[in-house]
Amino acid sequence: MTFTPHTLDRDRDIELDREVDVPPELVWKAWTTPELLKQWFAPKPYETPECEIDLRPGGIFRTVMRSPEGDDFDGAGCYLEVIPNERLVWTAALGPGYRPRAGDMPFTAILELQRTGSGGTHYRAIAMHQNPEESKQHAEMGFIEGWGAALDQLVALVKRP
């Protein structure tokens, strides 16, 4: 591990912490390859028809999630930290090139991956918020359930022959 794990602020951060039985390299590839990310990122029955990735600090991370009713939710931000196979940090508060942007609920996401003794991945996804109210709102929107379902889809995808 080449990074210091994030210390949670229990009032403003939400965390999904799980162990999955696929190696960090496959989890990383699924998070950083647009064609793969589009296959798992949105919890079913939602889908992700568009994804744009410029995998470098300041580069864009953009997804479009589509509801079963056909409504699109365009989310864009920029990467802050990229440590291959270990840590990915991006924020919706900034656009490409660290340009400030407006948004309904800007948050910063941290993805931490550590190899387990069995060759799997200790997977930690954190959403950092500006205040406790936004954190609570995001939690009530289903962060844990939605990101957990998406993680299950990621694992199923990378396990396919």
What predicted TM-score, i.e. pTM, was given to this entire model?
0.92
**Res 108: pLDDT:** 94
Where residue 160 falls among pLDDT bands split at 50, 70, 90?
confident
Do residues 22 and 120 make contact, with C-beta atoms less than 8 angstroms apart? yes
**Res 23: pLDDT:** 97
> Can you list the domains of the chain with their CATH numbers?
13-159 (3.30.530.20)
Looking at the predicted structure, is the pLDDT value of residue 35 above 90?
yes
| Cross-strand partners of 110 | 89, 126
- Which tokens hold the place of 64? 């479009």
**pLDDT tens figures, 45-62:** 999 999 999 999 999 999
Spatial separation of the C-alpha atoms in residues 142 and 135, rounded to whole Å: 11
**Res 100: pLDDT:** 85
- Helix (H) or strand (E) holding 144, with range, is helix 143-159
**pLDDT tens figures, 97-127:** 888 887 777 899 999 999 999 999 999 999 9
